[in-house]
Every structure is written in structure tokens, then in C-alpha cells.
Structure 1
Amino acid sequence: MSGPVVVGVDGSESSLTAVDVAAREAALRGVGLRLVHAFGWPSVHTPLRTPPWSAAGVREMVDGTLADAELRARAIAPDVEIAREVVVVGEPVMVLELETRTASLAVVGSRGLNRFGRLLLGSTAGHLAAHGRCPVLVMRGRPEPTGPVLLAVDGAPRSAAAVEFAFAYASLHGTALRALHAWNTHTERSYGAPGDPPFVTYDEDRLRDEEERLLAEAISGMTEKYPDVEVERSLVRGRIRHSVIEATAGAGVVVVGARGRGGFTGLRLGSVSQAVLHHAECPVAVVRAEEE
């Protein structure tokens, strides 16, 4: 997709970091940058003596926030075309979700400010990761992370979009890629040989060989398409969520997949993607599977 890079802006430190990263991504991809701020009217009873909100006051506040963000973006990517989008009445999660329909990448902070200035713990990031129509990059973890692109491989057909994104990202940034696949003896595989019993047997050597084959097949097409990307295949025996999160300590970004269907955030993301989104030590790119 050749659409712009979209970034959610609310004035928080986390969102300003997202602006910096979004500007760099837009420059690398040769696309425009859209700075988006949405302001939903309070739906709860406001205390007495609270100044009434006015459209003019909100507009002035938001314009100032976006102007500051634009200055940061222009300092980083002076040649990128930058557009501002202000939605005065609209829930941020819904506004940004609509923006992802025409974007090539959405960038958001892991924590932002709500309309009263209090911190929100990732509600926008979590919703976009599950429902966004383009890859979503959530800025979290240690400051200025370095290291290879970490690709969490599960071998499912629905993860092909995440694999493609990870290789393209590594190629674009000139960095290596570590394809990690975690397994354990509770990983259920059906080997399907005619003489096999109808239950799963845990032959560890056989299971390890199967997992190695799965990892190799998951990335085989991409190694030919992106020959410039140095690839490390990493087969780890252990708890899947723990293994992936632990590996993020040495990564510049981690790429995970999201399911293409399901009405609830948890069902769309899956347990591994949810855990990584909340506990990774580096930025997290969530790539939604193609709709079946």
C-alpha cells in the first residue's frame, strides 16, 4: 500500500516519540505523513466549577498541539509532505481506525492522555492493533532501541502478512532479521502418517524436526525476495509468550501477527500478540492477517 504514514497526536511524551518515528518512516517509504488528533466530548458528568468546553477553545488547543508535532516532524523529515487532521468530536480509537483504511502504516504511543489529561494505559494502541486495516507500530519499551527486527513466527498461513512486513522493514532500515519460533512438548502437531494413532505422541526429536521445518518454510519465500536482509533462524524451546518477550530485550522492533477475524480485541490479537503488546522491551509492530 502506498498510502501515508498516520500518527496519533495528543501531546503526550509517548505520542511525540511516535511523531518522530512516523516522520522517519514516511521519509524512508517516500510517502506523506498525516498528523491526527481526535477530541471526544466528555460523556460523564463534569464537576461544578469545571470550565465548559467550547469548540473554539478545543480547536485552539488542538491546533497548538498539532503545530508543535508538525515542527518536530519537519525537523526530522523536511522533504515529507505533512497534513494535519483535526476531528473535534470523535473518539480517538474510531477516528484512527478509519484513518488506517487508507494508510500504509499507523504509529501510536503506548500510553497517551485522555481528554482530562490523565494517562490512558494503551486503550488506543490495543484497539488499533486488533482492528486497524494497516500495520500498526506501537512505541513502547526502552528508549531508542537498537538491534535486529525480531519476527515472531507461528507458522500459520495467516501470519504471512507479518512475515512480509518484517522482511520489508528490515530491508528498508538496513538491519538484520531474527526469525524466532518457540516450541515445547505441548505444541500439538498432527503428523498424519497412515499408521499414526489418533492422538498426539511427544517424540521430542520428531517434534523438533517438524518445528525446524515449519520455521524454514515460513520465511523461505522472503529470503529470496529480500536477499539483502541477513537472517538468523532461532528455534527456542520454552514457553512461547515468555520466549518472545525475553527476546525483545535485544531487538529494535518486534513484529507479530493479528488474526483477520473476531469481534473482540483478545480474539483478534491472540494471547502471544497481546502479551508482547503489553510487555515487550522494544516497539511492537502488529500486522493484521488478510481477511479470509
Structure 2
Amino acid sequence: MHGFIDGAVVAGIDGSGSAVRAAVWAGHEAHRRGRPLRLVQVYTLPRVKAPMAVGTHEQVRAGLAEQAEGRLADARAAVLAEHPGLEITTAAREWSPVTALTQESQHAELLVLGSRGLGGFTGSLVGSTAVAVAAHTHCPIVVVRGRQPHDPPPGTGPVVVGADGSPDSDAALGFACEEARLRGTALTAVHTWSDILADGMLRPHPLQENPDEIAAAERVKLAEQVVGWQRKYPELAIEFEVSRGRPVRTLLERGERAQLIVVGCRGRGGFTGMLLGSTSQALIAHSPCPVAVVRPQRTGSGT
């Protein structure tokens, strides 16, 4: 019905320059992975207080569909300029952006969005749309960002991954290892620790613990989490970094020299409350390079 292609790299398009840069980034990713690229423009009929005549309503719908096809054609041309032989399909869809893109993720290998949107995504993608899609996607999602709002994403530097020993970060580690391998670059696994726990409570005796001993113990935990991935990717150079502080600040600092940051998704799964972990949300909004948010594989009917 919608021409889904299992295993494609899917990029959301809305006519903004950010979305075109994201499409080109997605084209590079599809080329590296040997996958087709699917460009999707989601549009929604504007809400009006007074009912429109049938003819006017259909004219608006036809105009939006035509505009969407034009934006898709522009994005397709930009990608083909970089990868002339890449297999690309396009789809203009009238629906809720979050719902449509979440459905797209059921068939995709990777979902890619720009960092700033236009009206086609009902406002900035860094707002509710990107966060909601990242919280509910069925595949990894990448929000493409550059050093400055209108900069292209960096193409050099290591892949940086946040690791905290959780299943979420283990899934992120696996994705990051494969990304580093595909790009022929190194991987930096970052782990942070603090005297303050995630719920804001202090450790029982923070001042009685030796920070050097804590750092050494946390480094052992990180090494234990990474060792299995090192065996799977023996050719990959993996650097460990353990530091005292907050994950967001540390990852943003490392992102200044990286080409991709990878984190796990710590959202609750529902559409109410916290849609996505605070670290992921902050990186989506402020990272100086593309950010991948990876959900662990789920089984059964749970989210």
C-alpha cells in the first residue's frame, strides 16, 4: 500500500535544508550498508475553525501532495548527486508525522531525520516530533546535526557511544561498533559516574569513598561490558573513557571531535510522561554531530 521496503534506510523529508542534509547523510549510510534509500514526506491537512467546501478541501489536499512530491524530488536529486547508482524510492504520505514515521520504522533498518523542520513536520523536529519518534521507533534513529545549525554533519572523527551497563547501552554499543566498522574509524566508549544517583539522591557516604577507587571500579565495569563486542570486532580500535560527571556534558564535549554519537533509549514507552531519556533528549537538541538513539530489541507485546 505504501511501498515499504524491508531493510531500507528511511529519511524523513519536509522541505527544509536540514532535511536535505539528512537525506544526503542517509544516502551515504545506505551506500555503506548496501541498502536502498526510502525518502518519505509526511504532510497533514491544516486545521481550520470553519468547515471547508468539498472542492476547496480537495484542492488543498492536492496542493500539499504536489508540494510533497516536489520536495521529495529535490531531496532525491541531492542524494543522487553524491551516489548516482543508489536505489531510491519516495513516498508522500498524508498522516500524523509521528505515527507515519513510527510505522515506517517497523520496516526500516535505520530511520534518519533532520535537526530542524518546516511546517511539514508541524514545527521544529527537535521538538516533540523527533523525541516522540525516537521513543517509539522500532529501529535505530539518527537525528543529523552539524557544528552549527546550517553546517553539514562532520564526516571525520571517531564514533562515540555512551555505556552504562544497561541493556539499552549494550544495544547502543553493538550499533556503534558496526557504525565504526563501516566508517573505518575508531570507537570511543564513554562511561560517567557521579556522587549523585539518577533519582537525585546522594550516595550513602560519598565523601568517604576514594574517587580514584571509584573510577577504577567503574572502568572495570565498562571493560566487562565491552569485552564481548571486542571479540566480535577484533579489528576495531576501542578506546575506554571513564570520567566523573554528567553523561550529557561529557558526550557533548566528545561530540565536538566525533562524527557520530550513539546512545540508548531510556524512555518508558507510552505517549505520556517521559518520552525519552533526558540524555538522549539533550543530545538531539544540542549535539555538534549526528546522534543515533538505539532501542534494545523487544520481544512479545511489551514496549
| 1:33-87 Cα deviation digits (max 9, x unpaired) | 11101111112438x9xx8653322222111111111111222222221111111
Which whole-Å CA distance do the structure 2 matches of 1:149 and 1:214 have between them? 20
The amino acid across from 2:266 in the alignment is R
State how far apart, in whole Å, the 2-side matches of 1:240 and 1:78 are.
Answer: 40
Tell me if structure 1 keeps the 8 A contact 2:138–2:295: yes
Alignment size in residue pairs: 279
Partner of 1:128: 133
CA, structure 1 residues 17+260, in 2 after alignment: closer, same or farther (shift >3 Å)?
A: same
The equivalent residue for 1:290 is: 297
Q: Which runs of 5+ in 2 are unaligned?
A: none
**Aligned with 1:267: secondary structure?**
coil
Once the two structures are overlaid, the 10-residue window that deviates more, 222-231 or 52-61, is 52-61
Partners of 1:254 and 1:41 in 2: how far apart?
35
The answer on whether the counterparts of 1:66 and 1:84 sit within 8 Å (CA) in structure 2 is yes
Give the whole-Å Cα distance in 1 for the aligned partners of 2:283 and 2:121: 28
Pair 1:215-2:222 in alignment: yes
CA distance in 2 between partners of 1:114 and 1:96 (Å)? 16
Letter in 2 for 1:291: R
Residue 81 of structure 2 corresponds to residue 71 of structure 1: no
Larger displacement relative to structure 2 (231-240 or 140-149)? 140-149
| Structure-2 change in CA distance of 1:177 and 1:120 (3 Å) | closer
Instruction: Give the Cα–Cα distance (whole angstroms) in 2 for the partners of residues 289 and 36 of structure 1.
Output: 25
Are residues 250 and 70 of structure 1, via their aligned partners in 2, closer, same or farther at CA, if it must alter by over 3 Å? Answer: same
The Cα shift of 1:262 comes to 2.7
- Partner deviation per Cα, 1:179-232 (whole Å, 9 max, x = no partner): 1111122348xxxxxxxxxx8444234422221111111211111111222111
Structure-1 residue corresponding to 2:45: 41
Measured against aligned partners, the alpha-carbon deviations of 1:95-132 in whole angstroms (never above 9, x if no partner) come to: 11100001000110011111498655433221221111
CA contact (8 A) 1:126 1:265 kept: no
1:147 partner letter: G
Mean Cα deviation higher: 239-248 or 173-182: 239-248
Percent identity, aligned pairs only?
44
Aligned to 1:30: 34
Structure-to-structure mapping, 1:50-199, within 5 angstroms: 53-87=59-93, 89-115=94-120, 119=124, 121-142=126-147, 143=151, 144-145=153-154, 146-187=156-197
Seen in structure 2, the aligned counterparts of structure 1 residues 84 and 268 have a Cα distance that, compared at 3 Å, is same
Alpha-carbon offset, residue 91 of structure 1: 1.3
SS in 2 for 1:155: coil
What letter corresponds to residue 14 of structure 1 in structure 2?
S
TM-score (norm 2): 0.84
What residue number does 2:260 align with?
A: 253
Are the aligned partners of 1:149 and 1:252 in contact in 2 as well (CA < 8 Å)? yes
TM-score by length of 1: 0.87
Cα RMSD (Å)? 2.6
Letter of the 2:24 partner, please give it: D
1:228 to 1:44, Cα distance in 2 relative to 1, 3 A: farther
Match of 1:269 among 246, 270, 276: 276
What secondary structure does 1:103 align onto? Answer: coil
**Corresponding letter in the other structure for 1:160:** D
What is the distance in 1 between the residues matched to 2:272 and 2:24? Answer: 27
Deviation at 1:2, TM superposition (A): 6.6
